[in-house]
Amino acid sequence: MPEQLHTKEQVEQYLARIFPTTREFRILKIEHGWVCRKVLTPEETAKGRGLGLGNYVINAQTGVVTAHSSLPPHVIGQMYDEAIRTGQPIQGDQVYPPRWRVNIQRTQEDPQQIEYQIEAQSMTQPPEPSIEHRLLINKQTLSYQPTDTTSANAVAWAEMRSRVDGTWPDQGTLEY
């Protein structure tokens, strides 16, 4: 059964599970859920990190979390509630629960590029068709083929791990 969130305290606990950080959020109650925005430290604010700071919306009935633009939280809330009332698509990307589990396995590598085998399984109900293909990444430019969403997430994941010690991962699993 989906998690239902009726109080600000429940939302705070939920956010702490989803985003394992001590980061605080400003939380605004809306008709169909909660709009949440990270609270920046004074140092982050001084460095201009608030510019473009996005919002999350948590659906109070389903627990689904979507990422939204940097518009003011009350505007995001109005847009979200209107979309639900009128049956329109939500204008945010689902970040929780994850919709896909992606396994990547390196198949070839040379100084210029790396190739991975990608296998993605849908975690939605009903499930979407599985995805399987080869992913070719240029290590210098980070251009990649094919250019679908699953590949984009796999490239970001692999490149982030390559920055740790300078080597691209042999294999791994990510969810998005």
Same-domain check for residues 111 and 123: yes
Number of domains in the chain: 2
Same-domain check for residues 92 and 104: no
With contact defined as beta carbons under 8 Å apart, do 174 and 157 qualify? yes
Rounded distance between C-alpha atoms, residue 41 and residue 53, angstroms:
13
Q: Is the pLDDT of residue 125 over 90?
A: no
pLDDT digits 0-9 by tens, 51-101: 889 999 999 999 999 999 999 999 999 999 999 999 999 999 999 999 999
Last residue of a domain, one of 78, 96, 114: 96
**CA 97, chain centre distance (Å):** 9
High-pLDDT (> 90) share of the chain, %: 89
Q: Is the pLDDT of residue 173 over 90?
A: yes
Same-domain check for residues 70 and 18: yes
Same-domain check for residues 114 and 169: yes
Answer whether residue 69 is part of any domain.
yes
**HSE-up of residue 101 (Cα within 13 Å, Cβ side):** 5
Mean pLDDT, all residues of the chain:
94
What is the mean predicted confidence (pLDDT) over 144-163?
A: 96
Same-domain check for residues 57 and 85: yes
Last residue of a domain, one of 67, 96, 125: 96
Last residue of a domain, one of 51, 71, 96: 96
3-state secondary structure of 145: strand
Q: What six digits make up the tokens of 139?
A: 């290590």
Rounded distance between C-alpha atoms, residue 81 and residue 85, angstroms:
6
The residue type of 47 is K
Same-domain check for residues 66 and 132: no
Structural domain boundaries, residue 168: 100-175
